[in-house]
Amino acid sequence: MNLDKIMNNLEARHPGEPEYLQAVREVLETIVDVVNENPHFESAGIIERLVEPDRVFTFKVPWVDDEGNVQVNIGYRVQFNNALGPYKGGLRFHPSVTISILKFLGFEQIFKNALTTLPLGGGKGGSDFNPKGKSDAEIMRFCQAFMLELWHVIGPETDVPAGDIGVGGKEIGYLFGMYKKLQREHNGVLTGKGTGWGGSLIRPEATGFGAVYFAQEMLATIGESFKGKTVAVSGFGNVAWGAVKKITELGGKVVTLSGPDGYIYDPEGVSGEKIDYMLELRATNQDIVSPYAEEFPEATFYSGKRPWEVKVDVAMPCATQNELGKEDAEKLVSNGVICVAEGANMPSTPEAIEVFKENKILFGPAKAVNAGGVATSGLEMTQNSMKLMWTAEEVDAKLKHIMKSIHDNCVKYGKCDDGYVDYVKGANVAAFLKVANAMYDQGII
Ligand code: NDP
Ligand code: 2IT
C-alpha cells in the first residue's frame, strides 16, 4: 500500500478537512503491514473505497426562535460504510460542527462498530446548531425541522442515528416524534430512546461504563485496578457522567471535570450527590462547569485550563476531539500516569499518542474504549426487533462481555515483542480485517 499516494489523493480531493484527513491517516499508518500481507485487498481497491463515504447528505434547517426570528442552520448525515450492517452512528449538535468533523467521526465509527461484534455499519450526522441557552421549545422546533429533511434517508434497516455531543434523551425524543409522524411507523429508527417507549436500559450510562470496563481490563494486564487510584476526567456531559459513576463504584477517586470554560479540581473526589449535580449542570444548557466550585466549596475552578496538569494515576478524556496535546501528555507522564483511556472521540492529538507510546503508558484509543455506547445502541436495536426489553442486569452483563472481547481483540493484534500492548494498532487491525473481508466478499460496489 502506498500511504503517501492515498493521502495525497485524499487531500487533493478534500482540501480544508483536517480532522477527516487526520483520522484516515491515523488508521492507515497502523494497517500498512496487514494490507501488504493481503494483496487481494489491494486488487479490490479496498482502501480507496473505504476512505470515501458512500454518500453525504447536506440540508438547510430553517426554524423560528422564541422571539419570532427565522434561524437557519446546516444539517448533515454522512453514510460512510454499510459492509457489516445498517449505517449507525450519532448526531452532534454543536457550533463547531463541519463536514470535516462529521466525516472523521463517521470514518472512526466504521471501525468502532466493527469491534463491537454486532452487525453495524458506520455513519454520523449533525448540525452547527448551538443548543447553548436555547429553550426546550426552540430545541423541539429545531429537532422537528432537522427531521423533516432527514427522515426519508434513515430507517431501522438502513441508517440508525443516535446521540452525541448536544444530543441526549430529550433531543432523541423530539427527533423520534417527528420521524414517527412522517413515516407513520413506530420502529427502532433511533437509539437512545426513552426507556418507556423502546429505549434500552443502561444506554445513557453505557459509553462511560464501557470505557471504565475497558480501562479496568487494561489495568489488569499490569496487575492493577481502579481501587485507590486518582483519576482525571474531562468534560461533564453524558460520557463523563457515566465514567465518573463507574470509577467511583470501583473505588477510584475522580478529582477533575472540565468544560470549555476551564476545569474543576476536587481533592475530595466527585462522588454521591456531586455526580447527580453533573446532570443538573448539563440540563442548564449553559456550557460551563464553573458553578460546580460554587456549589461545592472544597473544589477549585481553574479558568481556561485543562485538567491534564493535575497529578493522577489514570486520565480519561471525555469531552471532545484534540483536547489533549503533546505538552499535556508530557505533563501527565512526568506526573506518573499509568493509564490513559479515551472516552471522547479522538481527544488525543497524534503527537500526544506518540508520547504515551514512547513511555510505554497503557493507552486505549477511542474506537475501542468508547465502543460501549454504540454497542448498547446495537443491543437496543436487537430488543426493538424482538419487541421485548432486557433488564438492566442483562444489558450490563452483555456490555461487559463486549468490552472484554474488544480488549482481547486489541491484545491479539496489538501485542509487541516486548509484551507492551499497542492498543491503537490492535484496534485498527482487528476492525479493519473484519470490514475489509466483508467488503471483499460483497464485490466492487
Ligand atoms: P455531551 O454533549 O453530553 O458532553 C460533551 C462535553 O464536551 C461537554 O462537557 C461539552 O461542553 C464538552 N465540549 C463539547 N465541545 C467542546 C469544545 N469544542 N471544546 C471544549 N469542550 C467541548 O456529549 P457526550 O458526553 O455524549 O460526548 C463526549 C464525547 O464522547 C464526544 O467526543 C463524543 O463524540 C464521544 N462519544 C459519545 C458517545 C455517546 O453515546 N454519547 C459514544 C461514544 C463517544 P459544552 O457542551 O459545554 O461545550
Ligand atoms: O461516537 C459514538 O459512538 C456515539 N456517539 C454513539 C453512536 C450510537 O449510534 O450509539
Q: Is pLDDT at 44 greater than 80 in this prediction?
A: yes
Q: Name the residue with the closest Cα to ligand 2, atom 9.
A: 89
Quick check: 402 and 376 in contact, CB under 8 A? no
> In which element (H, E) is residue 176 found?
helix 169-183
pLDDT band at residue 120 using 50, 70 and 90 as cut-offs: very high
Q: Which is the CATH superfamily of the domain at 1-52+424-445?
A: Glutamate Dehydrogenase, chain A, domain 3 (1.10.285.10)
CB of residue 434 inside a 6 A radius of ligand 2: no
Q: 84-99 pLDDT, tens per residue? A: 999 999 999 999 999 9
Q: What's the predicted TM-score (pTM) here?
A: 0.96
pLDDT for res 283: 86
C-alpha cell at position 58: 447536506
Give the residue-averaged pLDDT of 267-280.
Answer: 96
The CA 301 to ligand 2 mean position distance, Å, reads 30
pLDDT band at residue 286 using 50, 70 and 90 as cut-offs: confident
CB of residue 108 inside a 6 A radius of ligand 2: no
Burial label, 215 (beta-carbon count in 10 A; 0-12, 13-18, 19+): buried
pLDDT for res 284: 83
181: which residues sit within 8 A by CB, 6+ positions away? none
Burial label, 445 (beta-carbon count in 10 A; 0-12, 13-18, 19+): exposed
Q: Name the residue with the closest Cα to ligand 2, atom 3.
A: 374
Q: 151-160 pLDDT, tens per residue? A: 999 999 999 9
Q: Is pLDDT at 327 greater than 80 in this prediction?
A: yes
- Average pLDDT value for the chain: 97
Q: Using DSSP, state whether 339 is helix, strand or coil.
A: strand
Q: Which is the CATH superfamily of the domain at 204-369?
A: NAD(P)-binding Rossmann-like Domain (3.40.50.720)
Give the residue-averaged pLDDT of 254-270.
Answer: 97
Quick check: 404 and 9 in contact, CB under 8 A? no
> In which element (H, E) is residue 92 found?
strand 87-93
Domains of the chain by residue range: 1-52+424-445, 54-187, 204-369
Give the residue-averaged pLDDT of 269-279.
Answer: 96
Say if 1-52+424-445 and 204-369 have the same CATH topology: no
Beta bridge partners of 430: none
Q: Is pLDDT at 285 greater than 90 in this prediction?
A: no
pLDDT for res 48: 96
Return phi, psi of residue 356, to 5°.
Answer: -65, -45
Give the residue-averaged pLDDT of 40-68.
Answer: 97
Residue 184 to residue 274: CA distance in whole angstroms: 42
* Residues taking part in catalysis: 124
Give the residue-averaged pLDDT of 122-150.
Answer: 97
What is the DSSP pairing of strand 87-93 with strand 122-127?
parallel
> In which element (H, E) is residue 45 found?
none
pLDDT for res 353: 97
C-alpha cell at position 348: 488525543
Under CATH, which number does the domain 54-187 receive? 3.40.50.10860
What is the DSSP pairing of strand 122-127 with strand 70-81?
antiparallel
Across 157-307, the runs of DSSP E, i.e. the strands, are: 159-162, 230-233, 253-259, 262-265, 300-303
